[in-house]
């Protein structure tokens, strides 16, 4: 059987020794100054020796107290850590959300703090599992994707439009001296393997004819192609609803602002049985509002660009 003094007396002693006074310790432990003094007295009586030297300006831990503090402080820290691990998830609900990498980086992550502030009891876990053949990846509660799923077991909610058009930096556009669609062929095209149809679909929409570029740089993901465009390496097919901030700051500009091709909208999907779960319902309501607000802002920005 362990021979130990009362835990409260050890907590009071450690706090006084660490903070340098009973008044500060009382504030940390949310008790009165007298309660701290009483607990320290209990400890000293139990030990049979004083652990503080008293003087007119307060208390100072003595040699015996320092020896005790060296053992008590890390022990209390370990106890607090163990308790924290057990209670960390109490009252917290986890929501696993899968979204495309470019969408996650450019749109979802910058807005998640507002959801977290509104719903502190919901912990979001993000992953980028990409399997268009599977309606909902294993272990995922909510999936965000472009376009509707064909899985009948899923409830789906469109929350934001999308549109594409070629974009580059103002300097690249100035140097290219674009006079018409045919001049695109003189530029380096930045393509993304994850969205292989963007360039050919836009060219068909623009009625550009059999146009191709002698110089191309290919990337796995759209966010890499867009970053290459920001770095002045060429022209990328921009997801305009994801780069609205780039357009507003003129970091990237559309080469043909009047030729914007509507693309597949962004959709949130989840198992139909989860419709009434509070975590899913809260995320859906927040996502719908955030998407609608951003869509309006992007449309205003695009209208302003067309008028330039």
> What would the 3-class secondary structure string for 23-36 be?
HHHHHHHCCCHHHH
| Cα–Cα distance, 190 to 208 (Å, whole number) | 17
Across the chain, what does the average pLDDT equal? 88
Q: What is the pTM of this model?
A: 0.67
Strands, E assignment, the chain = 52-55, 58-61, 93-98, 122-127, 142-146, 154-168, 189-192, 216-219, 235-239, 253-254, 261-271
Name the nearest CA neighbour of 184 among 204, 163, 213.
Answer: 213
Q: Look up residue 185 and give its DSSP letter.
A: G
**Are the C-beta atoms of residues 19 and 28 closer than 8 Å to each other?**
yes
Q: Which residues contact 133 (CB under 8 A, 6 or more apart)?
A: none
Reported as a pLDDT band with limits 50, 70 and 90, residue 150 is confident
Min mean pLDDT across 21-30, 168-177, 196-205, 229-238 is at 21-30
Distance between CA atoms of residues 266 and 244, nearest Å: 15
Which of 56-60, 120-124, 254-258 is the least confident region? 56-60
Whether pLDDT at 146 is above 60: yes
Instruction: Please state, in angstroms and rounded to a whole number, the distance separating the CA atoms of residues 39 and 45.
Output: 10
Q: Which residue has better confidence, 146 or 1?
A: 146
Confidence grade of residue 59 (pLDDT, cut at 50, 70, 90): confident
182 against 58, higher pLDDT: 182
CB 18 within 8 A of CB 56: no
Query: Residue 134: pLDDT band by 50, 70, 90 thresholds?
Result: low
Which residues, in sequence order, are CB contacts of 195 under 8 Å at separation 6+? 222, 237
Query: In 3D, which of 106, 120, 133 has the Cα closest to residue 241?
Result: 106
Convert the pLDDT of each residue in 195-236 to its tens digit: 999 999 999 999 988 888 889 999 998 999 999 999 999 999
Torsion of CA 109, 110, 115, 116, to 10 degrees: 70
Q: Please tell me the distance from the alpha carbon of residue 137 to that of residue 128, in angstroms, as a whole number.
A: 10
Q: Which domains does the chain have, with CATH numbers?
A: 7-87 (1.10.10.10), 93-160+266-298 (3.40.190.10), 161-264+301-307 (3.40.190.10)
- In whole angstroms, give the CA distance from residue 99 to residue 106: 11
Q: How many CB atoms lie within 10 A of CB 252?
A: 23
């Amino acid at each position: 059987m362990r021979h130990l003094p009362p835990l409260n007396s050890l907590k009071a002693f450690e706090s006084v020794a660490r903070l340098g006074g009973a008044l500060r310790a009382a504030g940390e432990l949310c008790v009165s100054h007298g309660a701290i003094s009483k607990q320290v007295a209990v400890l000293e009586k139990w030990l049979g020796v004083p652990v503080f030297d008293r003087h007119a300006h307060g208390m100072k831990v003595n040699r015996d107290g320092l020896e005790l503090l060296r053992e008590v402080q890390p022990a209390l820290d370990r106890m607090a850590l163990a308790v924290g691990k057990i209670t960390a998830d109490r009252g917290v609900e986890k929501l696993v959300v899968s979204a495309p990498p470019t969408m996650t980086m450019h749109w979802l992550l910058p807005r998640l703090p507002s959801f977290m502030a509104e719903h502190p009891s919901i912990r979001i876990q993000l992953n980028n599992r990409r399997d268009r053949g599977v309606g909902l990846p294993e272990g995922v509660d909510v999936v965000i994707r472009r376009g509707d799923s064909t899985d009948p077991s899923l409830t789906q909610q469109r929350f934001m439009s999308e549109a594409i058009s070629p974009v580059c930096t103002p300097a690249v556009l100035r140097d290219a001296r674009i006079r018409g669609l045919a001049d695109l062929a003189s530029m380096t095209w930045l393509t993304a393997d994850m969205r292989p149809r963007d360039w050919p679909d836009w060219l068909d929409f623009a009625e550009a004819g059999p146009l191709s570029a002698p110089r191309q740089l290919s990337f796995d993901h759209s966010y890499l192609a867009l970053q290459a465009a920001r770095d002045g390496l060429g022209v990328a097919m921009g997801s305009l609803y994801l780069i609205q901030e780039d357009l507003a700051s003129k970091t990237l500009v559309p080469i043909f602002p009047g030729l914007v091709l509507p693309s597949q909208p962004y959709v949130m999907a989840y198992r139909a049985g989860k419709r009434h779960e509070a975590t899913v319902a809260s995320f859906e309501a927040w996502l719908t509002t955030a998407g609608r607000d951003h869509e309006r802002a992007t449309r205003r920005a695009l209208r302003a660009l067309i008028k330039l």
